[in-house]
Amino acid sequence: MWLWFIRKKRECLKWFLERQLKSPKNSSFAGFYKQPLVENTQQSLHVRVVDSLLSLCSYLYLFGLKVHRGWYQSGLVKSSQLYVKEPNGSKRQIFTFAVGNYTWGGTGKTPFVMFLSKLLVSRGYQPVILSRGYGHKDEAKMMIRQGLAIEVLTGSNREEAFQKVFSSVVSSSTMVVILDDGLQHWRLKRQVNVLMVNAALAFGVNGYFIPRGSLREPPCEAASRSTCIVLHHCNQVSDFQLQQLKAWFQMQCPEKPILTSFMISLQTRMLSYVVE
């Protein structure tokens, strides 16, 4: 049974790749598909069985993703809009940014959230960061180091975490919310979607969905929902690859602005420690 599944999986993958590479949309970007999806035919049976199990889990993950998204798109489950209380007692909707990606791993989300927060503060706004809770202590420390007095709220239910703090108090008219890692957070409405893309691994580590690969959703679908696209780590790829990547996203969504970014080290610090 497993040998049959492995053989069928390889036939389906071969058909999918040939179709993708022959497509006019992907012809100029074929090099990014070929390399990560090459499989080693000399793998042992045990490795191939595990590989097939992970592939099956990836297909199940993608199916679950489609079902979950379909609930919101069909209206079966409603998305909520964050709001605050006005001095006259009425409720005011909060303008919301969502910064996210379609892959696991470092795509520069948190540094961009820091950058966006500083930009909003310089323009007179009061940003509030909503996060799931992973790494929130690091974000708060980064804010303090940069001298930014910005509220960082965490919780699995972000709407509840926000309303618990701000629903019963009169808030500033300049408040805005930034959803850190919020691209796939369908529960909350947002006005701006910022898609962060790791230019060095634009289609994940191997082109597969999690758990076999690092894709969280199809790149073309994430790009279509975004307001703007930021290609991060652009200094880790050649100019030719960067232009190809830009061309691919422009072909998928020609009306979306595409920006580039990279990080540099500003200073180094010696860490002291004691060995007992």
Instruction: Please enumerate in sequence order all residues whose Cβ is within 8 A of that of 97, keeping only pairs 6 or more positions apart, or say none.
Output: 116, 176, 177, 178, 179, 190, 191, 192, 194
Name the H helices within 75-135: 109-122
Across the strands, what pairs with 129?
152, 178
Q: What's the average model confidence in pLDDT over 161-174?
A: 74
Q: Which residue has the tokens 């949309």?
A: 25
Spatial CA neighbour of 44 closest among 98, 2, 90: 2
Give whole-number Cα distances, 73 to 77, 101, 219, in Å: 8, 20, 18
- Residue 246 DSSP SS3: helix
Q: Which residue has the tokens 């323009």?
A: 123
User: What CATH architecture applies to the domain 83-260?
Assistant: 3-Layer(aba) Sandwich (3.40)
Q: What is the pLDDT of residues 15-61, one digit of tens each?
A: 444 454 444 444 444 444 444 444 455 567 777 888 889 889 999 99
Q: Which residue has the tokens 């960067």?
A: 242
Domains of the chain, by residue range, sit at: 2-74, 83-260
Q: Which residue has the tokens 């590989």?
A: 51
User: Predicted confidence band at 133 (pLDDT cuts at 50, 70, 90)?
Assistant: low
